[in-house]
Amino acid sequence: MNNSSLDRHIYDKIIGPLLDWSKRHKIIKGVIEGLVYLQKGSMLWIVHRDLKPNNILLDDNMEPKISDFGSARTLSSDVAEECTNRVVGTSGYKAPEYASRGIYSLKTDVFSFGILVLVIISGRKNTILHKRGDTVGDLVRDAWHIWKNQRLHELVDPALGSGYEIAEITRCTQVALLCAQEDPADRPTMTDVAAMLNSESMSLPVEPKQPTALSKECAGEDVASADMGQTSRTIDITITSSAPMSTRVRIILDPED
């Protein structure tokens, strides 16, 4: 694909600004079409299990193509669940039930799609704070608080400037949060997602549930994302040398002006 993969466009500071909101919105809808086909349109029920920006390729017209099916599995029906001892995929995109227990279903890719949409909107990565009992990631938690407080402009990738429709951002964010809920039973199907994002007049049926709060234990062992959508972060680092003493350093990363 001449335009490489989606992650290159999102995270590259030079070509990233060229990926305006209309292109990002088009990519979101294109990925939906691909997933609906995998789950409903083909003769099989296919779970990709590693949906992420690296595996979304872009053609000459910036149309997305889902790639890399080396981890994909088929199911016996659209409501079936399977279990594996070999969990594959990428941290930050794996559904909680799959990451912790190896259970996968069509709702596994729905979760990954939700994360993908939040990444496309924000230009951020989703970090899982494992030692604090995190199941969904800092991007999901920040996005939920920002959405709940109706401050969606704080979530939007700065590279987009003001070139976006806040109504489209709001709808896409709410749908993404519905997809990224911890309980697979709470997530919509991809057919439902397509209906919600293709019809602006359609009211969204429910509100996404608030992600589970992080554990306070081992709070200094992971990279901590600030709450309420702020971009400043605190990082605790333990530096150990051959001396019998270790040094603990706290670094505050302030948001850019």
pLDDT for 90-121, tens place per residue?
999 999 999 999 999 999 999 999 999 999 99
Q: Which of 7, 12, 20, 50 is catalytic?
A: 50
- Domain presence at residue 239: no
Instruction: Check pLDDT > 90 for residue 227.
Output: no
Tell me the residue type at 145. Answer: H
The residues near 227 (Cβ < 8 Å, ≥ 6 apart) are 141, 142, 145
CB environment 13-38: b (16+ within 10 A), e (fewer): eeebeebebeebbebbebbbbbbbeb
CATH of the domain at 182: 1.10.510.10
Q: Grade residue 256 by pLDDT with cuts at 50, 70 and 90.
A: very low
- Domain presence at residue 96: yes
- Domain presence at residue 219: no
Do 109 and 51 meet the contact criterion of CB atoms below 8 Å apart?
A: yes
Do 190 and 106 meet the contact criterion of CB atoms below 8 Å apart?
A: yes
Do 169 and 140 meet the contact criterion of CB atoms below 8 Å apart?
A: no
Enter the tokens of residue 66.
């889902």
* Neighbour-count burial of 63, counting CB atoms closer than 10 A to its CB (0-12 exposed, 13-18 middle, 19+ buried): middle
Enter the tokens of residue 32.
């939906």
Which of 25, 184, 177, 166 has its CA nearest to residue 109?
184
- Domain presence at residue 197: yes
- Domain presence at residue 232: no
Q: Is 50 a catalytic residue?
A: yes
- Domain presence at residue 86: yes
pTM above 0.85, yes or no: no
Q: Grade residue 217 by pLDDT with cuts at 50, 70 and 90.
A: low
Task: Indicate the average pLDDT of the chain.
Answer: 86
Domain residues for the domain of 67 are: 6-214
Among all chains, which residue has been given the structure tokens 């401050």?
A: 151
- Domain presence at residue 222: no
Instruction: Check pLDDT > 60 for residue 223.
Output: no
pLDDT for 75-88, tens place per residue?
999 999 999 999 99
- Domain presence at residue 172: yes
Do 50 and 89 meet the contact criterion of CB atoms below 8 Å apart?
A: yes
pLDDT (mean) for 141-161: 95
pLDDT (mean) for 47-64: 96
The count of domains in the chain is: 1
